[in-house]
């Protein structure tokens, strides 16, 4: 895990007992000074152009978490100023994901598009005050004229149009008299500013596209910078928390605010923190969309996707994601968090909450030759050794059982403590068995084992043999009682730590070909018969699994592997 060494995520607060991150320190200072009359209103402002991912989850937990901590509220605002890429499907998925994470926004969701009229009126005012002008140059030329960080920009020949002419042209832009790209409205700030974002940035562009909410009412659309801060201001946001790349936009955020601000109103303050980067993970919405569109994954909620809906389908709990967000804290400098930290947070949660059950993924049949053919027995077994209140259940035992193919070796090395010819193992919660004979088909593949059991050795029966120690304990299911299920073994989607960090190679070259293996002939204990969608289990000795919420049906259960019990990547790759 790459730790941020320069800026501690949390410092010790005044009372010494609770520690504050730097945003909490700012808010506490504001509260102490009664700034904003003690109000704390944050917002989460997604653009509805994709599904939310784990990076957004970090931002959601931060914004809603701050409000919860300071008795404030959080708005959900769709930043829908770009009609080209936005869709209602995304709006719906975003609301569902925020709620699933455990948060509820204040009132109705808001939309930047609801403020189009107000933004337009403000733009008109800014023109009237002489601080904005209509430029007839094409976008590429404007962009070339911006200069470089070390070289001043060039002023547009249209920069000194009269207020009257600018007003007339802007109104005609709004009325649809010009074609796309023919004109833009620019703020008149200065082409020599050392901050490139201040060099007469574009405020409005012409786009003759239908908007998912405002239809064809508008053919000019505000740029992100002009819409965002003003939307914060309209809503009375006190602390506008965003990621670091907007630090350089902050002077512009403040410039626009100054130009629309009325004394006495709440003035939002922009605060930047480092975005979440995770190893082995891509978080660019453009690339995630590409994976979906090229069918490299099966949709936005494919369990290998870092989207909230993908993580959910994979079996992540919302509590583990919230815990993760809290554990990593907020940093002021970019860093990369090891994805193992997220998986650790999940294992910790599931270890406490997931019921243990027995499942055999690659079954090998055993016939216990000295066990009566017509007998069934029910053995008692704990549901979760970490939590007594989860109780016990009964599992059937009979003459024919399945164990995992891996748990048997014909020519076993000395340290192999599972089953091998002539050796004994304990079947968890049941008897000690001994392998007497290996049955093979004509190809020489093992098809079945013949074993004997020690009738006095049943776990918990109190006999001397029940205490007898043998080296290995195996999970198993009774063959005639087991349910056939499909199991999907998911693994990390990329086999490189930084799949999009290679200059010469495309991130898609690092797709892990083993990221999904489908097993059709798995056997699970009968207590899982009515397992509900999304319920989570620990398959003993194998890992955590959940019932797939889309493809699993009663009588045709599908389980997703959420995570193995231990992190095997750490060892393999370091
Ligand atoms: P785009 O490139 O489309 O703007 P985006 O990831 O910034 O992508 P938004 O919908 O604008 O997407 O993001 C909504 C909010 O989530 C923003 O406040 C943004 O700063 C925050 N956010 C996005 N990605 C991360 C991340 N990796 N870590 C923390 N916060 C993030
Ligand atoms: Mg963004």
pLDDT tens figures, 349-359:
999 999 999 99
Outline which parts of the chain fall under CATH 3.40.50.620.
22-273
Quick check: CB of 276 below 6 Å from ligand 1? yes
The ranges of the chain annotated as CATH 2.40.240.10 are: 285-353+485-524+529-572, 358-482
Q: Is 48 in the pocket of ligand 1 (CB under 6 A)?
A: no
Q: Over the stretch 512-548, which tens digit does the pLDDT of each residue have?
A: 999 999 999 999 999 999 999 999 999 999 999 999 9
Please check whether residue 362 is in contact with residue 406, taking contact to mean a CB–CB distance below 8 angstroms: yes
CA of 35 relative to ligand 2 center, distance in Å: 28
Q: Which pLDDT tens digit goes with each residue over 85-106?
A: 778 999 999 999 999 999 999 9
pLDDT in tens, 347-393: 999 999 999 999 999 999 999 999 999 999 999 999 999 999 999 99
Any residues with CB less than 8 A from the CB of 448 and at least 6 apart, and which? 364, 365, 366, 367, 439
Q: Which two tokens stand for residue 61?
A: 């937990």
Please classify residue 288 by burial: count the beta carbons closer than 10 Å to its beta carbon, then call 0-12 exposed, 13-18 middle and 19+ buried.
Answer: buried
Check pocket membership of 242 for ligand 1, CB cut-off 6 A: yes
**Residues 402 and 482: beta-carbon distance below 8 Å:** yes
Lowest-confidence region among 193-202, 260-269, 477-486, 562-571: 562-571
pLDDT tops 70 at residue 2: no
**Portion of the chain with pLDDT greater than 70, in percent:** 96
Q: Please tell me the pTM assigned to this model.
A: 0.93
Residue with CA at minimum distance from ligand 1 atom 26: 55
- Among 43, 46, 336, name the best residue to mutate to test ligand 1's pocket (greatest count of ligand atoms within 8 A of Cβ): 46
Closest residue CA from atom 9 of ligand 1: 46
How is domain 358-482 classified at the architecture level of CATH? Beta Barrel (2.40)
Distance in angstroms (rounded) separating the CA atoms of residues 353 and 102: 17
Q: Is the CB of 85 under 6 A from ligand 1?
A: no
Q: Which CATH architecture has domain 285-353+485-524+529-572?
A: Beta Barrel (2.40)
Cα 552 to middle of ligand 2, angstroms = 35
Ligand nearest to the CA of 44: 1
Residue 47 alpha carbon to ligand 2 centre in Å: 7
Report the pLDDT value the prediction gives residue 85, as an integer from 0 to 100.
76
Please tell me which residue, 574 or 447, carries the higher pLDDT value: 447
CB of 109 within 8 A of CB of 142? Answer: no
Residue 45 has which token pair? 């402002």
Does the beta carbon of 59 lie inside 6 Å of ligand 1?
A: yes
What DSSP element (H or E) covers 43?
A: strand 41-44
Ligand 2 centroid – CA 91 distance (Å): 15
Annotated catalytic sites, by residue? 47, 275, 285
Q: Which ligand is nearest to the CA of 275?
A: 1
C-alpha distance from residue 535 to each of 90, 351, 526 (Å): 26, 14, 15
For residue 456, the Cα-to-chain-centroid distance in whole angstroms is 50
What distance in angstroms lies between residue 272's CA and the mean position of ligand 1's atoms? 12
Cα–Cα distance for residue pair 524/411, rounded to 1 Å: 28
pLDDT tens digits for 135-171? Answer: 999 999 999 999 999 999 999 999 999 999 999 999 9
**Section 262-270 average pLDDT:** 97
Ligand nearest to the CA of 50: 1
Report which ligand 1 atom has the smallest distance to the Cα of 243.
Answer: 20
Residues sharing a CB contact under 8 Å with residue 293, sequence separation 6 or more, in sequence order: none
Q: Is 425 in the pocket of ligand 1 (CB under 6 A)?
A: no
pLDDT attached to residue 7: 42
Encoded tokens for 529:
């018969």
- Nearest atom, ligand 1, residue 283 CA: 27
Q: What is the pLDDT of residue 18?
A: 59
**Is the C-beta atom of 56 inside 6 A of ligand 1?**
yes
Which pair of structure tokens corresponds to residue 512? Answer: 């892990």
- Residue 58 CA to ligand 1 center (angstroms) comes to 10
Query: 572 pLDDT band (50/70/90 cuts)?
Result: very low
For domain 22-273, give the CATH superfamily.
HUPs (3.40.50.620)
Is the CB of 77 within 6 Å of ligand 1? Answer: no
What confidence score (pLDDT) does residue 251 get? 98
For residue 243 and ligand 1, the question of a CB distance below 6 A is answered with: yes
pLDDT of residue 9: 44
Which-ligand-closest: CA of 242? 1
């Amino acid at each position: 895990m790459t730790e941020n060494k320069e800026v501690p995520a949390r410092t010790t607060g005044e009372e010494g007992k609770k520690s504050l991150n730097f945003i909490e320190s700012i808010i506490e200072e504001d509260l102490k000074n009664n700034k904003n009359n003690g109000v704390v209103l944050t917002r989460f402002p997604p653009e509805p152009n994709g599904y939310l991912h784990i990076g957004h989850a970090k931002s959601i937990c931060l914004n809603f978490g701050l409000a919860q901590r300071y008795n404030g509220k959080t708005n959900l605002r769709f930043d829908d100023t770009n009609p080209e890429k936005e869709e209602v499907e995304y709006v719906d998925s975003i609301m569902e994901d925020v709620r699933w994470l455990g948060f509820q926004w204040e009132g109705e969701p808001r939309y930047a598009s609801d403020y189009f009229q107000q933004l337009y009126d403000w733009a008109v005012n800014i023109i009237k005050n002489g601080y904005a002008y209509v430029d007839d140059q094409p976008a590429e030329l404007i962009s070339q004229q911006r200069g470089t960080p070390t070289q001043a920009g060039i002023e547009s020949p249209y920069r000194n149009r009269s207020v009257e002419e600018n007003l007339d042209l802007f109104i005609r832009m709004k009325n649809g008299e010009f074609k796309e790209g023919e004109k833009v409205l620019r703020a008149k700030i200065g082409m020599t500013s050392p901050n490139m974002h201040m060099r007469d940035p574009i405020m409005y562009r012409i786009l003759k596209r239908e908007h998912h909410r405002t239809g064809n009412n508008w053919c000019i659309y505000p740029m992100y910078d002009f819409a965002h801060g003003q939307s914060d201001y309209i809503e009375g946001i006190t602390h506008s928390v965003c990621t670091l790349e907007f630090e350089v936009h902050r002077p512009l955020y403040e410039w626009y605010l100054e130009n629309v601000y009325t004394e006495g109103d709440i003035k939002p303050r922009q605060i930047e923190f480092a975005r979440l980067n995770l190893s082995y993970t891509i978080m660019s919405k453009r690339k995630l969309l590409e994976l979906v569109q090229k069918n490299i994954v099966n949709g936005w909620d494919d369990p290998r996707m870092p989207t909230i809906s993908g993580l959910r389908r994979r079996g992540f709990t919302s509590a583990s994601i919230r815990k993760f967000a809290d554990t990593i804290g907020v940093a002021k400098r970019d860093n990369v968090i090891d994805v193992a930290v997220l998986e650790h947070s999940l294992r910790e949660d599931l270890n406490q909450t997931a019921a243990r059950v027995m499942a055999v993924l690659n079954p090998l049949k055993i016939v216990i030759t000295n066990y009566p053919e017509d007998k069934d027995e029910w053995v008692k077994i704990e549901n979760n050794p970490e939590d007594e209140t989860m109780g016990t259940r009964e599992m059937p035992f009979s003459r024919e059982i399945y164990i995992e193919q891996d748990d048997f070796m014909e020519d076993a090395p000395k340290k192999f403590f599972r089953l091998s010819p002539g050796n004994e193992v304990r079947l968890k919660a049941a008897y000690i068995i001994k392998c007497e004979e290996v049955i093979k088909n004509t190809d020489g593949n093992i098809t079945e084992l013949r074993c004997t059991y020690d009738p006095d050795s049943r776990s918990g029966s109190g006999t001397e043999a029940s205490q007898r120690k043998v080296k290995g304990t195996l999970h198993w299911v009774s063959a005639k009682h087991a349910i056939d299920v499909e199991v999907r073994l998911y693994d990390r989607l990329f086999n490189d730590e930084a799949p999009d960090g290679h200059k010469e190679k495309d991130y898609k070259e690092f797709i892990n070909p083993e990221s999904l293996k489908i097993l059709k002939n798995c056997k699970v204990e009968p207590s899982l018969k009515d397992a509900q969608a999304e319920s989570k289990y620990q398959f003993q000795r194998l890992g955590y699994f959940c019932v797939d919420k889309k493809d699993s049906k009663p009588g045709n259960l599908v389980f997703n592997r959420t995570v193995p019990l231990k992190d095997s990547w750490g060892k393999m790759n370091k």
